[in-house]
Amino acid sequence: MSPLKYVTRRWPRAAGALAAALVLSLTGAAQASAADLNNARNAGFEAGLTDWTCTAASGTTVSSPVHGGASALRATPAGQDNARCGQTVAVKPGSTYTLSAWVQGGYTYLGVTGTGTTDVSTWTPDAPAWKRLSTTFTTGASTTSVNVYTHGWYGQAAYYADDVSVFGPDGGGGGDPAPTVPGTPGGLTVSGTTSSSVSLSWNAAPGATAYSVYRGGTKATTVTGTSATVTGLTASTAYTFQVTASNAAGESARSAPVTGATAATGGDPGTGGLPRHAVTGYWQNFDNGATVQKISDVPAAYDIIAVAFADATSTPGAVSFTLDSAGLGGYTVDRFTADIRAKQAAGKKVVVSVGGQNGTVSVNDATSAANFANSVYALMQTYGFDGVDIDLENGLDPTYMSQALRSLSAKAGPGLILTMAPQTIDMQSTSNGYFRTALNVKDILTVVNMQYYNSGSMLGCDGKVYSQGSVDFLTALACIQLEGGLAPSQVGLGVPASTRGAGSGYVSPSVVNNALDCLARGTNCGSFKPSKTYPALRGAMTWSTNWDAAAGNAWSSAVGPHVHGLP
């Protein structure tokens, strides 16, 4: 796809020592004694940076994103500074404390020094949504204060921290009062369904830091917002759901139950209720000069919206996604997920795209295949994505990527939307890894939208060389896939939305429409005319909805109706 602003992620030098200390908890600690309290001061940064000190002026407070209250810490590593922010906290000698904080963004560390016993720390890489870091420490016999800190990592993105807690016996230095168990959330409703998922929303409960959704009495997922999508369900089946609220003091009673029934599945593999002919558009989770959009801004002509991009984490094969709230004008995760649900309610599908031009995801063994499937499924649960788009432009292993996609399909169910966006070179022969992967998962594959750009001249299915930028280039190269084993409904034409959307290969919407007509109807062909027509051809894709918007939505206004009008 289009070049990104991302920098290469590096595994921190201290990661090996710190990984063993990592403790992730979304529901809070066990019940504490009545005398315990949060000894941290200005723990939610509601008073700016009062009581906190940040190195190299790296910290500030922001109003978005926040985990609780109206403010949170934003700290940005720069040069040789890792954006360390800390405070001195009064503690009681010979006592045990739970240190925790909610974090988001780049690499984030949480730790304590000066305990008089063993100093501890914990960390997480690239948290796409608010995540609770937690660890415990014990003070020495004469320790009356400790130094609590957060920091990021060199060369990595800014991190956010909120609701820091040093929970335990009163050290006498003042602090925030101990939380109480939140009340039961109200207003639980079913906000949308697919053949394999049910989306839910509810009212916020004061004091809650997390919510757990129960399906038939079993916990299905835990989130920090007031909505969730439970995936991996069976089509045409009724399910009962409840929700609870929790914080460090404990978990509320379960809400009144609601029932949601999944939709019937479609007859074709990977359709998930899509129309016979579909338009795919990539949505940019970054600002590179194209029009900055919210998901809600994407025109209705697009049937599949591919959110670009999820990228590699330090765990082999695993991917993560972080909404670029700052770069997108303060677009919050809650609004993002709500916009996804609204698109789904309108019959659209939203998938997370993995990779891009600078993507570094590598799935080359059984372990990384499992990590890929687990991490993508987790993103589907967190954000409500309908599936995944594979846009790996640096090669892939067909054996283990196929294994990963089948594992994901088993988790997500028959409603999974699986799309791919290989480069032209990747689909020149059925022996290529990308083509082999597509054929390996043909029974669960939705569509392959090959990129007919940034490629130069290529061979068509008739063995002749065709130059990009022509109707012949689109039709003769699509013919390779159509005759190489993919169903017509699994083939789409991927093109730039404007001359600024790619380095080369732009064609006007009229050329795209002519190519669609040539393949589906046998009309408006150039010098190449396929030996037969493919009326079930899936449609077209563009990079990107943002570049389309920058050009007045000329691409989707012309190509969208034409795709939907195919036979």
Residue labelled with tokens 């996604």: 321
**Angle at Cα 199 formed by Cα 193 and Cα 203, nearest 5°?**
140
- Which CATH number is associated with domain 189-261? 2.60.40.10
DSSP-based three-state secondary structure for 60: strand
Residue 291: count other Cβ atoms within 10 Å of its Cβ: 17
Catalytic residue among 46, 251, 393, 483: 393
What's the average model confidence in pLDDT over 483-506? 94
Strand partners, 85: 54, 150
Instruction: Say what the pLDDT of residue 201 is.
Output: 81
Whether 393 is a known active-site residue: answer yes
Give CA 276 to chain center in angstroms. Answer: 27
What's the average model confidence in pLDDT over 513-519? 97
Q: Is the dihedral of CA 409, 412, 416, 418 positive or negative?
A: negative
pLDDT in tens, 325-366: 999 999 999 999 999 999 999 999 999 999 866 667 889 898
pLDDT in tens, 30-56: 334 446 788 999 999 988 999 999 999
Q: 15-168 sits in which CATH class? A: mainly beta
Confidence of residue 177 (pLDDT cuts 50, 70, 90): low
- SS3 for 529-553, per residue? CCCCCCCCCCEEEEECHHHHHHCCC
Using an 8 Å Cβ cutoff, are 136 and 99 in contact?
yes
Torsion-angle region of residue 436: left (phi > 0), alpha (psi -120 to 50) or beta? Answer: alpha
Q: What is the residue type of 167?
A: F
Task: Please determine, for residue 447, whether its predicted confidence score (pLDDT) is greater than 80.
Answer: yes
Of the listed ranges 113-122, 259-268, 284-293, 409-418, the least confidently predicted one is: 259-268
The residue among 236, 226, 229 whose CA lies nearest residue 215 is 229
Show the tokens assigned to 433: 């890894």
Which are the contacts of 535, defined by CB distance < 8 A and separation ≥ 6? 488, 520, 521, 566, 567
User: CA 439 to CA 443: how far, in whole Å?
Assistant: 8
User: CA 109 to CA 111: how far, in whole Å?
Assistant: 7
Instruction: Say what the pLDDT of residue 272 is.
Output: 64
DSSP-based three-state secondary structure for 167: strand
Task: Please determine, for residue 181, whether its predicted confidence score (pLDDT) is greater than 70.
Answer: yes
Report the CATH fold assignment for 278-564: TIM Barrel (3.20.20)
What's the average model confidence in pLDDT over 230-253? 86
pLDDT in tens, 450-471: 999 998 888 899 989 999 989 9
Provide the whole-model pTM. Answer: 0.56
Of the listed ranges 114-128, 167-181, 286-300, the least confidently predicted one is: 167-181
Confidence of residue 302 (pLDDT cuts 50, 70, 90): very high
Residues in the chain: 567
Using an 8 Å Cβ cutoff, are 356 and 502 in contact?
no
Beta strands in 460-544 (DSSP E): 465-466, 491-496, 539-543
Instruction: Say what the pLDDT of residue 20 is.
Output: 33
Using an 8 Å Cβ cutoff, are 446 and 418 in contact?
yes
User: CA 141 to CA 521: how far, in whole Å?
Assistant: 84
User: CA 333 to CA 99: how far, in whole Å?
Assistant: 26
In the chain, domain spans: 15-168, 189-261, 278-564
Residue labelled with tokens 């990308």: 434
Q: Is the dihedral of CA 556, 557, 559, 563 positive or negative?
A: positive
Task: Please determine, for residue 17, whether its predicted confidence score (pLDDT) is greater than 50.
Answer: no
Confidence of residue 413 (pLDDT cuts 50, 70, 90): confident
Instruction: Say what the pLDDT of residue 82 is.
Output: 92
Instruction: Say what the pLDDT of residue 539 is.
Output: 97
Mean residue pLDDT across the chain: 87
The residue among 202, 184, 201, 192 whose CA lies nearest residue 263 is 192
What's the average model confidence in pLDDT over 299-325? 95
The residue among 296, 307, 496 whose CA lies nearest residue 388 is 307
